[in-house]
Amino acid sequence: QTEVSWWHAMGGELGEKLEEIVATYNDSQSDYHVTPVYKGSYTETMTAAIAAFRAGEQPDIVQVFEVGTGTMMAAQGAVYPVYQLMADMGADFDQSGFLPAVVGYYTDTQGNMLSMPFNSSTPILYYNKDVFEAAGLDRDVPPKTWEELEAFSHQIMESGAATCGFSSGWISWVQLENFSAWHNLQIGTEENGFAGLNTELTMNGPDQAKHWANLKKWQDEGLFQYGGPGGGADAPAKFYTQECAIYMNSSASRAGVINNAADFEVGYGMLPYYEGVEGAPQNSIIGGATLWVLQGHDEAEYKGVADFFSYLSSAEVQADWHQFSGYLPITQAAYELGQQQGYYAANPGSDVAIKQITLNAPTVNSKGLRFGNYTQIRDVIDQEFQALLAGDKTAQEALDALVSRGNEMLRDFEATNN
């Protein structure tokens, strides 16, 4: 039996489900044995894989979050592009079967898919229907706009139904990158980095500054509670314990919400937008991760990787993973299978993510982002957001600082990858 190693970043409910999927594959055939290894957060997993590659101890497959794409694409000698691997191994691979929003994020300039989609998400809004009702709000109507979200939060807090309006995971991803796409605002030049390495960040415009100034104001009023840097590890519990009535996070937080929010009914909505911003709401952008294959292994292992990828992207496996986790149904076939099964009709709100990401045809501002060194730039975004919350900088100063610090990191990346 040939061993195939897969380093991943799925913890909690998602990690357990991933292991179940792998075990089913391992039991279904006898040529290959896939071993999944949890390596921590997305950043930790990516950092570990890069270090392992340098030491010649890299796994066959590594799960890399969407913002690591620019860095992985530039690591040409380290990566075995998925379209090439599937062709070399004689495996079926129909790129056109994946959702356009997913394909566009992971293809090179010739349109070839470099990594295997597995868990693509988009941020959505979760709310506590019981708290809404206790506050005198309609339990079936989530806030559509930020103006409504602010008014609802005041009503919730003043009525005593909950002590906090909202929290959010992934400040950078949800409250800056997706915020920009959703309002059709540019994130960076060169088509948000898709068109070339000579790109500059531009996410410090007046609408982003207005939003960050509001988040600071709402924090000071108690309306908004910060969940911490990176994924925002403290945010989920604020929603589960019914402290905060509204919670914005990955569509894949759904598995955790269903598991932990047993005492109240959860409602689902799209991200809020500001009234009067032209083009809003546009469409949200993907997050989550794809599977990158690393060089340096023998052909038998790559045959195993190709076989495992075919299994992973089958409609049955994808539909099951999507329905359990809240990740998007990344193939058209998985989405259609869910419709045939009556899954969306039986689970109201479970299709909010796909409706939101496909709400309008993506513009040059809303098809995603691709920047080198972006994992490090995300850390800078977190630092500047914390400086804003601490009152050390205004929203405009924090955004200007993260843009100029980020641009230096983009220049470093350009210099080493040209």
Ligand X SMILES: O=P(O)(O)OC[C@H](O)CO
Q: Quote the CA–CA distance of 280 and 182 in Å, as a whole number.
A: 6
The 3-class secondary structure across 54-74, one letter per residue, is: HCCCCCCEEEEEHHHHHHHHH
The binder of ligand X chosen from 22, 61, 67, 319 (CB under 6 A): 67
Q: CA 172, 413, 382: angle at the middle one, nearest 5?
A: 20
Residue choice 81, 229, 287, 406 for contact with ligand X (CB under 6 A):
287
Phi, psi torsion values for 203, nearest 5 degrees: -85, 30
Q: CB-wise, 8 or 129, nearer to ligand X?
A: 8
Least distance to ligand X, CB of residue 238, Å: 17
Token pair of 13, please? 């409910």
Residue placing its CB nearer to ligand X in the complex, 49 or 252: 252
Distance separating alpha carbons of residues 402 and 170, to the nearest angstrom: 16
Residue 288 binds ligand X (CB under 6 A): yes
Candidates 182-190, 287-295, 300-308, 363-371 — which segment interacts with ligand X by CB under 6 A?
287-295
Nearer to ligand X, 64 or 131 (CB): 64
Contact region with ligand X (CB under 6 A), list: 20-28, 216-224, 282-290, 300-308: 282-290
| 250, 283, 313, 350: which one binds ligand X (CB under 6 A) | 250
- By CB under 6 A, name the one of 173, 182, 194, 344 that touches ligand X: 173
State in angstroms the smallest separation of the CB of 418 from ligand X.
26
User: Is 66 one of the binding residues for ligand X (CB under 6 A)?
Assistant: yes
List binders of ligand X among 36-55 (CB under 6 A): 42
Q: How many C-beta atoms surround the C-beta of residue 411 within 10 A?
A: 15
Matching residue, tokens 């790109």: 199
Calculate helix-pair angle for 395-416, 374-389, nearest 10 degrees.
160
CB-wise, 11 or 348, nearer to ligand X? Answer: 11
Torsion over CA: 89, 90, 96, 99 (sign): negative
Residue 145 dihedral angles phi and psi, to the nearest 5°: -120, 165
By CB under 6 A, residue 178 contacts ligand X: no
What is the spatial distance between Cα 196 and Cα 296, in angstroms, rounded to a whole number?
Answer: 28
Residue 36: phi, psi to the nearest 5?
A: -85, 140
We find the least distance from the C-beta atom of residue 247 to ligand X, in angstroms, to be 13
Distances (CA, A) of 249 to 131, 167, 169: 19, 9, 5
Q: How far is the C-alpha of 165 from the C-alpha of 169, rounded, in Å?
A: 14
Phi-psi group of 283: left, alpha or beta (phi > 0 → left; psi -120 to 50 → alpha; rest → beta):
beta
Location of structure tokens 């950092």: 47
At its nearest, how many Å lie between ligand X and the CB of residue 319? 18
When asked if residue 170 is in the footprint of ligand X (CB under 6 A), the reply is yes
Question: In angstroms, what is the minimal distance from the CB of 271 to ligand X?
Answer: 14
Give backbone dihedrals phi and psi of 45, rounded to 5 degrees, phi first.
-65, -45
Q: Dihedral sign, CA of 307, 329, 194, 179?
A: negative
- Residue count, binding to ligand X (CB under 6 A): 13
Least separation, in Å, of the C-beta of 45 and ligand X?
A: 11
Would you say 45 or 121 has its CB closer to ligand X? 121
Q: Which is nearer to ligand X, 4 or 248 (CB)?
A: 248
CB of 308 to ligand X, least distance (A): 20
- Count of beta carbons in the 10 Å neighbourhood of residue 128: 27
Stretch that binds ligand X, among 87-95, 151-159, 160-168, 285-293 (CB under 6 A): 285-293
Closest residue to ligand X, Cβ-based? 287
Kindly state whether residue 252 participates in binding ligand X, applying the rule CB under 6 A: yes
> Which residues in the 3-32 window bind ligand X by CB under 6 A?
none
Sites of contact with ligand X (CB under 6 A): 42, 65-67, 119, 121, 170, 173, 250, 252, 287-289
